[in-house]
A and B are shown apart, each in its own frame.
Chain A
Amino acid sequence: GAVVSQHPSRVICKSGTSVKIECRSLDFQATTMFWYRQFPKQSLMLMATSNEGSKATYEQGVEKDKFLINHASLTLSTLTVTSAHPEDSSFYICSARDPNGVYNEQFFGPGTRLTVL
């Protein structure tokens, strides 16, 4: 099946720094990638939809300037958490849609656990 990777898997940073998370589709080209956020013991909440070559579409309530998304190629989308604060600590998961897939199936990355001190 299709494989999506995320890097890093875990990151700890100081408050005020910026953190970049990469999401890659390894064996297919993804025109659309999605970024989700999951707080402990809670569900996944869609943050934004990332389309290759265009601006990301953010969900209501998500700060565009805080969570910068870049989808520069068909296999890579990045999420940069700018000026991170402890409340940004969370589990971030990306997914990629295979345009050749049959049923809108999204393939999920393994997630990135961000801890902001």
Chain B
Amino acid sequence: AQKVTQAQTEISVVEKEDVTLDCVYETRDTTYYLFWYKQPPSGELVFLIRRNSFDEQNEISGRYSWNFQKSTSSFNFTITASQVVDSAVYFCALSEAQGGSEKLVFGKGTKLTVNP
């Protein structure tokens, strides 16, 4: 069965600090996709990144970066020089590619609070 674990329930940092959100996943599939979503207090899920299982290249997008390590089944997310606007709940999710179900399995989320 697929499972996504976000061990950090809540993180609080001061503005300009770097912060890493951890994500560990379990799947039997060899082909799968990993996602990160941001959910601000308004509730709408904001897509941040998608990564397929064959692409282990790290990615950087502005202050955001992602580290995908298949060997440890981890897909960690780092925010550099955090800002108050980064305060939100962040979800890591896993989707199987085979079987046609394409369901998303979400982790429990990490609530990030960035204090001024």
Contact = CB atoms under 8 A, between A and B. Distances in A.
A75 B6 CA distance: 33
A103 B43 contact: no
A54 interface: no
Contacts, number: 52
B43 A106 contact: no
B103 A105 contact: no
B26 interface: no
A110 B44 contact: yes
Contact of A108 (B42, B44, B103, B108): B44
Interface string B51-82: 01000000000000000000000000000000
B108 A42 contact: yes
Interface residues of A, number: 24
A49 interface: yes
B43 A91 contact: yes
A49 B108 CA distance: 20
Contacts of A1: 47
Given A32-B102, A49-B103, A105-B50, A93 B45 contact: yes
Interface string B88-106: 0001000101000111111
Nearest to B93: A44
Contact of B104 (A46, A109, A110): A46
B101 A44 contact: no
Given A106-B104, A110-B42, 9 more contacts: A42-B108, A91-B43, A93-B45, A104-B95, A105-B47, A106-B102, A110-B43, A111-B44, A111-B45
Interface of B: 33, 37, 42-45, 47, 50, 52, 91, 95, 97, 101-109, 111
